[in-house]
Structure 1
Amino acid sequence: MHTPDHEARAALMRAADAGDTAMGRLVSHYGAVRTAEAVRAQRLPDPGDPLPADGDHPRDHSGDHSRDRPGDHPGDLSHRLATWHTRLATWHARLTAADPAADLAAGHQAGARLVIPGDPEWPTQLDQLGPGRPLGLWLHGNADLRFSCLRSAAVVGARAATPYGAHVAAQFGIGLSESGWTVISGGAIGIDAAAHRGALAADSPTVVVLACGVDIPYPAEHQPLFAAARDQGVLVSECPPGVHPTRARFLIRNRLIAALSRGTAVIEAALRSGALNTATHALTLDRHLAVVPGPITSAQSAGCHRLLREQKAVCVTSPEELIELVGTIGDDLAPPQRAPALPRDALSLQTRAVLDAIPSRGGAGPATIAVAAGVPLNTALSALGSLAAAGYVERVPKGWRIRKAPSPVYPKATPTAVDQPTPPSEQHAVPSEHHASEHHASEHHASEHHAWGHHASGQRASEQRAASPRPPGAPQEQGAISTGPSSVPSGQPAVSPESPRVPPEQRAAPPSVPSERDAAPSEPPAGSAQPPAHPPGTPGSPVPSDRPLLDASATPERTSPPRPALPEGRPTLIPSPRTGSPALTPPPNASSQEDETPLPSSTPASQPCHPENQMIPSPRPEPP
C-alpha cells in the first residue's frame, strides 16, 4: 500500500543524490510532502513556520522548537537555506522529469518494495545517520530487513583479494551464519562476494547493499550470487530502479553497511581502500570495528595493520571472536583457546627434574642422575622406574638414557624374514628338506620309468622297423630322433634312421592300457621255467643303454633300464603304472583287433598323431 509520503519520498529520491544532507535536513524539518511541493514550486518553505520534529510525525505545538533547528544560532538556518537555494534549480529540473507512481508500479512488478521511515520493516538504527539518513530504501528479497539486522555483522575488504583473504572471508561468513548472525556486505568482487557465498552456503540470510538500483546487477558476473541472495536474503539500495553505479555512490553506500550492522570486520584493506571508508563510518557511528591481520609483506593488509597500530580496531582471528566483540556482553563469549596438553604435564616436579637430568645419548647411572637432578638416590630410582614404565627412558649398558621416539617422517623399518638370521636348528633342517625334495624327484622318475616300461611293446616295434632298410632320400618320420646333428622334437620316442616304414595295411591297432582287473598275478605260475636270455640284436632282446630314447635336452634322465629278454610268443611281465604289480604284455609278433593304445608322445592333443607314427602293438594273450 503506497501512501502520499511514499510517492513524495520516491520523487525526492529522483531529485536529490543519495546521501544529500541538504535534502535530508529539508525533509527532516518540513516533511517529505511539503518539501516536494516546495521544490516543484521552486521556492523554499517559510523559515518562520513551525518545524516538525520529524517528517513522519505530526507537528509539535509545544512552542519549544529549539531542539528541531539545525543549530543554536538563528543565522545557521539562514546559511543553510542559502545553500539549499543554490541546489533548488537542480532539484526542480530532476523532479519535473520524475514519475514516482511509475517507479512504484515498476518496482512492485519486479518484486521490489519501497520502505520509508515509520514502516515496520524500516531498521531504526539508520536514524543515527542524522541528515544523512536515506529518504527510503528499495528492497528486493524474501528476508525482512529489520529482523535480519538485529543480529548482524558487516564483513568488508579489498576487491583485489588474495586467496588467503577470500578463504578467511568465506570462513567468517559460514561461522557467523551458523551462529545465527546475518552477514552484511556490498556484493563487490573479492572479500564481499566471498563473505556472501559463505553465508549462503550455511543457509542463512545475507544483506547485499548495492550502489545502484536493485534491478541492476553490478558486477554482472555476480548475477547468480544476487539471485541466490534474493531467495535467502535481501538486496538493499537507496537509489531508484534503473540507476547505475558511480564511484561516489560506492563511497556513499558504505555508511549504510556500517549503520545497519552492530560491528564491522575488515579483511584485507590496502592503505587506499574503500573498506577503510566503511571503517571510518563505523567509528563515527560508535560501532565496533574489528580487523583480521594478514602477512606483513602483503600490501593488501597494510591498511588493516595501520588500524591495529593506531588502536582503532580490535584484532580478531575467528568468527567466534567477532561475535564476542559485537554480541551481548556475557552471552556471546568465544571459547577460550588453550594450549595442547602434553604427557609431561602430568609428571611431578621431582620426576621432571630426574627426566631432565637423564642424557639423550650414551647413558648415566642412577647416582649421577640423582646428583644432576638434585634429588635423593631413592627418589631418583623410583622416578627412573616410573619413567621407564611410561616409555620415557630405557636401560642401556652404560645406565639410563632418554628413549628416542620414532620419527613420523622416517619410521623405522620392521625387520623382515630376510633380514633375520636363520636359527641353528633350522640350518640343520635345510639339508634334510633338500634330500626330501630329491627323494620326491626320484620317486617321480621311478613312476615315469614304470609308465615307460608299459610301452615296451612300442619300442620293440621300433626295433623291427629299424631292421628293415629305408629308401635313400625318404623323409624322416615325424617324431623320430636321428643320430645326426638334426633337431628332434623333445619328449618323443627315438627311432633309428634305418627303421623300415611299415605299410598302413600291415599295422595293427595298439592295445589299450591294461586296467587293474586285467593285471596278472605278481608271480608266474608254479612250474614255469624262466626264458633264456636272447643275445643282443635279436627280437625280444633289451634295448641297448647307449641308444638314445628321448631328446637329451628334454628328459636327460629318462632311459630304459635293461631287463632280461624273453622268447618270442611268450608274454612279458611289466609292472603296471597304477598298481605296481606285473602285467602281461603280448609278444611283439602277435596281432589282434582289440583296443589300441597309442605310443606316448609329447605331441599336443590338438595335433592328431600321424598314422605313420603309430607303433605296431602286440596282441594280449589270455591270462593263465
Structure 2
Amino acid sequence: MSTPEHEARAALMRAADAGDTVMGDLVAQIGPTQAVQAIRERAAPPGFATDELTRRLQTWHARLDGSDPAADLEAGERTGARLIIPGDPEWPTQLDALGAGRPLGLWLHGTADLRFSCLRSVAVVGARAATSYGVHVAAQFGVGLSEAGWTVVSGGAFGIDGAAHRGSLAAGGTTVVVLACGVDYCYPAEHRSLFAGARDQGVLVSECPPGVRPTRARFLIRNRLIAALSRGTVVVEAAVRSGALNTAGHALALDRHLGAVPGPITSSLSDGCHRLIRENKAVCVTTPEEMIELVGVMGDDLAPVPRAPALPRDSLPEPTRRVLDAVPTRVSAGPATIAVAAGVDLNTALSALGSLAAAGYLDRTPNGWRARRPASPVYPQAPATALPPPTKPPDPTEPRDPTEPPDPTEPRDPTEPPDPTEPPDTGQPDSTSQRDFAGQPDPAGLQNFTGQPDLIGQRDATGQGDAAGQGDLVGQRDLIGLQDSVGLQDSTGQLDSSALPDPMKQPDSTGPSDPPVESVHHAPALAEKPPDPVSTSEESPAFSSDASPAALDTLIPAARPSPD
C-alpha cells in the first residue's frame, strides 16, 4: 500500500544516509512531507537554522533531485519487497528506543511478519573469520533458539552470522537477516541460497533503498538495528577489534541483555568475549537455554541446572562406604585389617563386606577380600569373543590327514611312495624356473632334494641326488647313487668288487634279526593337591580382643563358612 507518507519517507531515505540523526530530528519535528519540501527549497524551517543543517540541505537537495520514490515503490512490489514506516502494523515498536537514529523506514522481503517475529528474538553475532569452534557454537545456538520458539536475528555475513542463520533454518525456525545494502542486492554473493531460504522462512530487512551497494560505514550503522530488534544479543566469537563488539556496544546503550560465549584462551578470536565477561558487561552463556533464561520471562524460562553423574556407591551408607574404601584392589586383606583401616568394629566390617560382595563391589579370595576394579569408561575392555581363538601347534607324531594338501615347505618323507603326478627327478635344473625343490635357484643342477649341495657338489652316475642330502665320507657316490651303508666302498671311495654279495648265495633266514622295539609309556606324575587354606580340620584357638589385626585375619577364615 502506497501513501503520500510512504513516498515522502522513500524520498528521504534516498536523500539522507542511514542513521542520520539530523534528518531524524528534522522529521520528528516537522514530519516527512514538510521535510521533503524544505529540502527541495533548500530552506531550513524556523527554529532549525543551524550551520550543520544548512550544509546538510545542500547535500540532500542534490540527492533528492535524482530520486524517484514512486519508481522505488513500484520496483519493490515487482520483486516482492515492501516498505514499512512507523505506524504500520508490521513496524516493530522496539526501534523507537533509537530516538533520532530510528530508521525512516524499512524495506522488507520475505514471508514472516517482522513485528511478530521480533517479539521473542535473540541476536547472534560474531566474527566473519570464525573458527570451527565458533561456527559449531553459532549453529548450535541457532538450532536451540529456534526449537524453543525464538527468532534468530543476525547480519547474514560470513562466519558466525551465516552459521546462526543456517542453524535456525535447519530447525524450521524464523530468522531475520539485517542487510547493509538493498534487499534486492545479494551480498555476499555466496549466500544467495541462504538468503533465498531466509525469504521463505523469515524476512530480509534493510533501511537502504533498492539497488544500494554495501559500504564499510553501512555495516557499522546496521548493527544498531540488530541490537534494537532483539531482546538480547549474544557474542559467540569476536576479537578485540571486531564489528560484533560494535553491536554489543549498541545493545548496552539500549539497555538490552548481552551475553558472551567463552572460548579457548589461546584463540585471539575469543579475546573480545573474554573482555566483555571480565569487565562485567556481558553474562557468560554456554548453551541456548542459558541465553533464553537471560532474555526470557523471569521464573518461566529457566535453564536446566547441570548435575554431576550419580554413581552407585553414592547411595551406600557411610560405614559401608568407609569399608569399601578400605578394601585394597591389588592384594587381599582380612576383615580385621579392613576394620582397622575403615575405623569400624569387626562386626560392622563383616556385615558391610557381605553386603558389598553381594552387590558386586568385592571378591572373596582365600586370603580375605579384594575390591573389584571398575571398567574404564574411556578404554573399555574388549569382550572375550573379540579375541581370536588360540591356535594349537601341530603335533609331529599325529598322522596327517590324507585329504589335506601337503605343505611344500615340509621335507618329504623318504619312505613315502612318490606321487605319480609329479615329474621324475633327472638331476637336471628346472628348465622353466631354474629352481630346486627348496625354491632356491639351481643353475648348475648341483642341489639335492632338500635344496642343499653335496659336500663336493657332484651328482652320482645316474644323475640322481642323495635322498638324504648328505655326501659320502670322501664325497663320492656309488654307481647306483646310494650311500655306502654296508661297507661296499674301499678307502678311496671306489667300489670294492670283493665285497659284493654272491648272487648265487641265499640269505640266511636263521640269522639274528633286529630286536623288536618296545613302546614305553611314561605316565605323568599326579600333582599333589594343595592344602585347603580354609580347612577346618585343625582346631582354631580362641582370639582375644587385644590381638593384632594380622593375627586376627589368620583366625577369621576358620570361623566363617566356606564360599561353596
Pair in the same fold by TM > 0.5: yes
Q: Pick one of 311, 324, 331 that aligns with 2:300.
A: 331
| Equivalent residues of 1:39, 1:92 under 8 A apart | yes
Task: Look up the equivalent residue of 2:242 and give its one-letter code.
Answer: S
Aligned position for 2:251: 282
Aligned position for 2:174: 205
Matches within 5 A, 1:238-249: 238-249=207-218
Aligned position for 1:87: 56
Tell whether 2:42 aligns with 1:42. yes
**Deviation per CA, 1:279-338, whole angstroms, max 9, x where unpaired?**
000000000000011000001100000000001000111111111111111111111111
Distance (whole Å) between structure 2 residues aligned to residue 365 and residue 290 of structure 1: 58
Q: Pick one of 374, 377, 381 that aligns with 1:411.
A: 381
1:119/1:271 Cα in 2 relative to 1: closer, same or farther (>3 Å)?
Answer: same
Task: Look up the equivalent residue of 1:24 and give its one-letter code.
Answer: G
Matches within 5 A, 1:206-285: 206-285=175-254
**Deviation per CA, 1:483-541, whole angstroms, max 9, x where unpaired?**
xx999669xxxxxxxxxxxxxxxxxxxxxxxxxxxxxxxxxxxxxxxxxxxxxxxxxxx
Distance (whole Å) between structure 1 residues aligned to residue 159 and residue 45 of structure 2: 46
Tell whether 2:264 aligns with 1:299. no
**Deviation per CA, 1:239-272, whole angstroms, max 9, x where unpaired?**
0000000000000000000000000010110000
**Deviation per CA, 1:407-430, whole angstroms, max 9, x where unpaired?**
563626649997699xxxxxxxxx
Q: Secondary structure at the match of 2:116?
A: helix
| Equivalent residues of 1:139, 1:237 under 8 A apart | yes
1:43/1:375 Cα in 2 relative to 1: closer, same or farther (>3 Å)?
Answer: same
Tell whether 2:66 aligns with 1:97. yes
TM-score computed with the length of structure 2 as normaliser: 0.68
| Equivalent residues of 1:406, 1:412 under 8 A apart | no
Task: Look up the equivalent residue of 2:43 and give its one-letter code.
Answer: R
Shift, 1:168, TM fit: 0.6
Aligned position for 1:106: 75
Distance (whole Å) between structure 2 residues aligned to residue 382 and residue 220 of structure 1: 75
Moved over 3 A (4+): 412-421, 485-490
Distance (whole Å) between structure 1 residues aligned to residue 391 and residue 17 of structure 2: 88
| Equivalent residues of 1:279, 1:289 under 8 A apart | yes
1:363/1:199 Cα in 2 relative to 1: closer, same or farther (>3 Å)?
Answer: same
Aligned position for 1:381: 350
1:489/1:32 Cα in 2 relative to 1: closer, same or farther (>3 Å)?
Answer: closer
1:486/1:113 Cα in 2 relative to 1: closer, same or farther (>3 Å)?
Answer: closer
Shift, 1:406, TM fit: 4.0
Q: Pick one of 143, 148, 151 that aligns with 1:182.
A: 151
Distance (whole Å) between structure 2 residues aligned to residue 196 and residue 489 of structure 1: 78
Shift, 1:371, TM fit: 1.2
Matches within 5 A, 1:362-441: 362-407=331-376, 409=379, 411=381, 414=384
Task: Look up the equivalent residue of 2:267 and give its one-letter code.
Answer: S
Task: Look up the equivalent residue of 1:187 and give its one-letter code.
Answer: G
1:407/1:206 Cα in 2 relative to 1: closer, same or farther (>3 Å)?
Answer: closer
Aligned position for 1:352: 321
Rg: which structure is higher? 1
1:342/1:282 Cα in 2 relative to 1: closer, same or farther (>3 Å)?
Answer: same
Distance (whole Å) between structure 1 residues aligned to residue 344 and residue 269 of structure 2: 57
Distance (whole Å) between structure 2 residues aligned to residue 359 and residue 197 of structure 1: 55
Q: Secondary structure at the match of 1:187?
A: coil
Q: Secondary structure at the match of 2:168?
A: helix
Distance (whole Å) between structure 1 residues aligned to residue 354 and residue 253 of structure 2: 66
1:370/1:123 Cα in 2 relative to 1: closer, same or farther (>3 Å)?
Answer: same
Distance (whole Å) between structure 2 residues aligned to residue 176 and residue 414 of structure 1: 46
Aligned position for 1:156: 125
**Deviation per CA, 1:428-450, whole angstroms, max 9, x where unpaired?**
xxx9xx99x99xx9xxxxxxxxx
1:358/1:41 Cα in 2 relative to 1: closer, same or farther (>3 Å)?
Answer: same
Distance (whole Å) between structure 2 residues aligned to residue 334 and residue 185 of structure 1: 23
Task: Look up the equivalent residue of 1:253 and give its one-letter code.
Answer: R
Task: Look up the equivalent residue of 1:4 and give its one-letter code.
Answer: P
Distance (whole Å) between structure 1 residues aligned to residue 83 and residue 389 of structure 2: 84
Aligned position for 1:20: 20
1:30/1:318 Cα in 2 relative to 1: closer, same or farther (>3 Å)?
Answer: same
Aligned position for 2:96: 127
Q: Secondary structure at the match of 1:31?
A: helix
Structure 2's unaligned 5+ residue stretches are 404-416, 423-564
Shift, 1:358, TM fit: 1.2
Distance (whole Å) between structure 2 residues aligned to residue 487 and residue 367 of structure 1: 75
1:402/1:3 Cα in 2 relative to 1: closer, same or farther (>3 Å)?
Answer: same
Shift, 1:83, TM fit: 1.6
Shift, 1:392, TM fit: 1.2
Distance (whole Å) between structure 2 residues aligned to residue 126 and residue 154 of structure 1: 14
Distance (whole Å) between structure 1 residues aligned to residue 356 and residue 418 of structure 2: 81
